[in-house]
């Protein structure tokens, strides 16, 4: 599967469960294993709050500060939910690109700390190209 899927979509591990879990339910086999191997929470209070948000969005799954959000069961829709929770908890707007580039609670926490401190400079995207259809529409409006 890893040959055809991007790394963030390939499962990190496969666990055989006695039955299919209900939506939102974590199989007992998985939750015991995760609880045994979960890393401790990240350093500060904000780090711990962010890690709690990761766990909440991932359905209560035990994840550590250095566990990859996508390898822990996250996907783009859950990433949007993660961003909404971060916005409500910290008052900061991050982007999906931020989550894909910083998929662990530890790295996202550092990014968030930079955003809170104002250390993140906006990207200079350069001039924005106006689509050809819009140029034609504007030209037609001037003639008309």
**CATH assignment of the domain containing 36:** 1.10.1200.10
Task: Give a yes or no: residue 106 inside a domain.
Answer: yes
Residues contacting 73, CB < 8 A, separation 6+: 58, 59, 61
Task: Give a yes or no: residue 138 inside a domain.
Answer: no
| CA 44/CA 81 separation, integer angstroms | 23
Predicted pLDDT of residue 99? 94
Task: Give a yes or no: residue 52 inside a domain.
Answer: yes
Structural domain total, the chain: 1
Task: Give a yes or no: residue 131 inside a domain.
Answer: no
What are the b/e assignments for 87-125, b being 16+ CB within 10 Å? eeebeeebeeebbeebbbbbbbbebbbebeeeeeeeeee
pLDDT tens-place values along the chain, 144 residues long? 446 777 666 666 677 777 777 765 666 666 554 544 444 444 457 888 999 999 999 998 888 899 999 999 999 999 999 999 999 999 999 999 999 999 999 999 999 888 654 444 445 555 656 566 566 666 666 665
- Residue 38, H or E segment: none
Domain that holds residue 53: 1-16+25-120
| CA 53/CA 16 separation, integer angstroms | 27
Q: What pTM, to 2 d.p., does this model score?
A: 0.54
Predicted pLDDT of residue 42? 43
Task: Give a yes or no: residue 142 inside a domain.
Answer: no
């Amino acid at each position: 599967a890893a040959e055809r899927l991007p790394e963030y979509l390939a499962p990190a591990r496969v666990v055989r469960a006695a039955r299919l879990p209900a939506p939102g339910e974590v199989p007992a086999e998985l939750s015991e294993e995760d609880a045994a191997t979960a890393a401790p929470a990240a350093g500060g209070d904000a780090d711990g709050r962010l890690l709690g948000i990761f766990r909440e969005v991932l359905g209560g799954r035990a994840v550590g500060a250095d566990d990859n959000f996508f390898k822990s069961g996250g996907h783009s829709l859950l990433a949007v939910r993660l961003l909404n929770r971060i916005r409500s908890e910290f008052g900061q707007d991050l982007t999906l690109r931020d989550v894909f580039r910083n998929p662990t609670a530890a790295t996202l926490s550092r990014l968030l700390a930079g955003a809170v401190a104002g250390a993140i400079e906006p990207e200079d995207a350069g001039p924005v190209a106006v689509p050809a259809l819009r140029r034609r529409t504007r030209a037609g409006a001037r003639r008309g």
